[in-house]
Chain A
Amino acid sequence: MSVSDRAFSIEHYQWSGGREAMLRFGLTTGAVVLLAMPLFEEANRTRALIVTMLRALAEHGIGAALPDLPGTGESLVPTEAARLEDWRAAFAAAEEQVTRGGGRVHIASLRGGALVDTRANCAGRWHFAPVAGAALVRDLMRARQASAREAGEPFDPAAIAPGGPPVELAGNLLAPELIDELKGAVPTAAAPLRTVRLLTEAAAADHKIAARPLWRRAEPENNPALARELAADLAAWVKTCGG
């Protein structure tokens, strides 16, 4: 089987803190998109969309790599050990591996993934519905507050401080240090960058697409038409950035 026949495989990458899985789609040489997933529950809600998008990208002749970050997906690192700086270092290590394998790396990040792609080298970045860390934290706290209110338990977000115990937010045990790092994190703004958003989002973008925000839906869903539209936009951007 030649490399070009390989539609899908699982490999691993090393970073200074250990070893994580990385899914590969299509070609491993030429332009390869390295994708940073949304964070926390949003990752589960968009996984099917992302896989459909990366398969569609392969039809444009562009390979893709989807790394697990430490403490996410299949990672053996406990969620409460996850730190933003580790995610950034791991994502950069994934980029180095794709580059060593003959790929010319372009980055695609969805939602909170845009907070993670900061340190990786690339020919260009493409962000879909990027979100500031403070907004993600506000959403996590809001959900926790609502469930605490329902259960009649006390919950004070102000009590979450570095050095304190991990806190359960939206089903994940998270370190207060991670929450603190996220509060100050904003999407990477380094050029060349293309930002795509939903038509319904108030924030500015280079291009807007009419679709519903899958990352808000409690029941995971897919939207193959959106996945194909995103893949086409991303493929055009990759070509703009030199392929």
Chain B
Amino acid sequence: MTLGEILLPEGHAEVEATVRAVLRDVLGISDERVAAFDDDTPLFGALPELDSMAVAGVLTEIEDRLGITIDDDDVDGETLESFGALVRFAQDKALT
């Protein structure tokens, strides 16, 4: 059994809440807007606040908050495609 499985579902919910808060804090998105994000909400290319500089800020802030290191080789076009994809990416890094 992996740590991720032991922590389920609390760990998954916690990572999702962290990713939501990072998007709010780094991009300056309102609580109401970010609370409405679901798995299918498109991010990169759809949020005007999320330019390439902001992508770096989002990833680095996720590292700081989850205490993980993200290998940039693991980041591709799909990582920030949707809120659900970014949450799954962060969960993979934090919980396995």
Question: Interface of A with B (CB < 8 Å)?
Answer: 135, 138-139, 141-143, 145-147, 149-150, 170, 200-203, 212-213, 216-219, 221
- Cross-interface CB contact of B25 among A145, A203, A216, cutoff 8 Å: A216
* Further contacts, 4 of them, CB under 8 A, given A146-B52, A202-B67, A212-B25: A143-B57, A146-B56, A200-B65, A218-B49
With contact pairs A135-B60, A141-B72, A142-B60 given, residues A218 and B66 touching in the complex (Cβ less than 8 Å): no
- Cross-interface CB contact of B28 among A142, A149, A219, cutoff 8 Å: A219
Contact B25 A150 (CB under 8 A): no
Contact A213 B56 (CB under 8 A): no
Binary per-residue interface labels of chain B (59-70) against chain A in the complex, 1 for a CB within 8 Å, 0 otherwise: 111011111000
A202 to B60, CA, bound (A): 12
Q: Could you pull out 23 A-B pairs where Cβ atoms are within 8 angstroms?
A: A135-B63, A139-B56, A141-B72, A142-B59, A143-B53, A143-B55, A146-B52, A146-B55, A147-B52, A147-B53, A149-B52, A200-B64, A201-B64, A202-B66, A202-B67, A212-B25, A213-B61, A213-B64, A216-B61, A217-B26, A218-B53, A218-B54, A218-B57
A203 to B61, CA, bound (A): 12
Q: Note all chain B residues with C-beta closer than 8 A to A217.
A: 25-26, 28
A146 to B50, CA, bound (A): 11
Q: Note all chain B residues with C-beta closer than 8 A to A212.
A: 25
Interface membership of B85, Cβ < 8 A: no
Binary per-residue interface labels of chain B (7-51) against chain A in the complex, 1 for a CB within 8 Å, 0 otherwise: 000000000001001000110100000000000000000000101
Q: Note all chain B residues with C-beta closer than 8 A to A135.
A: 60, 63-64
Contact A202 B52 (CB under 8 A): no
A219 to B25, CA, bound (A): 12
Closest chain B CB from A240 CB (angstroms): 27
A202 to B51, CA, bound (A): 25
A150 closest partner in B (C-beta): B52
Contact B65 A201 (CB under 8 A): yes
A190 to B67, CA, bound (A): 24
Q: Note all chain A residues with C-beta closer than 8 A to B28.
A: 217-219, 221
- Cross-interface CB contact of A202 among B53, B59, B64, cutoff 8 Å: B64
A213 to B57, CA, bound (A): 10
Q: Note all chain A residues with C-beta closer than 8 A to B51.
A: 218
A105 to B52, CA, bound (A): 40
Closest chain B CB from A220 CB (angstroms): 11
- Cross-interface CB contact of B56 among A142, A201, A219, A221, cutoff 8 Å: A142
Q: Note all chain B residues with C-beta closer than 8 A to A138.
A: 60, 72
Q: Note all chain B residues with C-beta closer than 8 A to A150.
A: 52
Please give me the 8 A-B residue pairs with the lowest Cβ-Cβ distance, nearest first.
A202-B67, A146-B52, A143-B56, A142-B56, A212-B25, A147-B52, A139-B60, A216-B57
A201 to B22, CA, bound (A): 11
Q: Note all chain B residues with C-beta closer than 8 A to A145.
A: 56, 72
Closest chain B CB from A155 CB (angstroms): 11
Closest chain B CB from A131 CB (angstroms): 8
Q: Which of B56-94 contact A (CB under 8 A)?
A: 56-57, 59-61, 63-67, 72
Contact B53 A146 (CB under 8 A): yes
